[in-house]
Amino acid sequence: CAELHLAQITQAGDPFESSSTRPLDYGHWSAHKLEALDKYKIRHGEAVAIGMALDAKYAVEVGLLAEGEAYRLINLLKNLGFVLWHPVLEQLDEQGQPLVLSGLEEFRQHLGGELRITLMTQIGTAKNVNYMELQALSGALKWLKKTVNTAGL
């Protein structure tokens, strides 16, 4: 089964990415941009862990997730040994916005349609959104840098 799936993806493309309605995997929109900004030196799992923490705090910022639930996820990632910040997240574009935020538009274009991002509403439950508020996302990014690598939340 795994060999058939690998053949499908490498030879015919990922069937799940052929539609503009497929949501991105949790934490991946920023992970892929982070990998590109770091010239692929960061491991994919490390980038996804950062993306998961960012998306969890963003979900708190917009009222989708209780803060305690976000902290449970973030503390789990930290306890597993993930560092949840990377210096390339500080890179800014010409307008002074974090470059990682351009990953949203890049993924929308990659999917060829409407943006669909998966966000947690509680641990084990998710909601797909078609829009992310840049101000709340910037706030989540600033919080991540300031707070997440301190001992315990």
Q: Which of 88, 99, 109 is nearest to 134 (CA)?
A: 99
Strand ranges for 5-135 from DSSP E? 117-122, 125-129
What's the confidence (pLDDT) of residue 106? 81
What's the confidence (pLDDT) of residue 7? 52
Which residues of the chain register pLDDT less than 50? 1-2, 4-6, 8-10, 12-20
What's the confidence (pLDDT) of residue 47? 96
Q: Which domain holds residue 124?
A: 20-147
84, 148 Cβ separation under 8 angstroms = yes
Q: Which of 47, 68, 48, 46 is nearest to 57 (CA)?
A: 68
Q: Is residue 12 domain-resident? A: no
Report the domain count for the chain: 1
Q: Is residue 105 domain-resident? A: yes
What's the confidence (pLDDT) of residue 17? 46
What's the confidence (pLDDT) of residue 153? 58
Q: Which of 121, 114, 116, 3 is nearest to 60 (CA)?
A: 121
What's the predicted TM-score (pTM) here? 0.82
Q: Is residue 153 domain-resident? A: no
What's the confidence (pLDDT) of residue 21? 53
Domain with residue 50: its CATH number is 1.20.1090.10
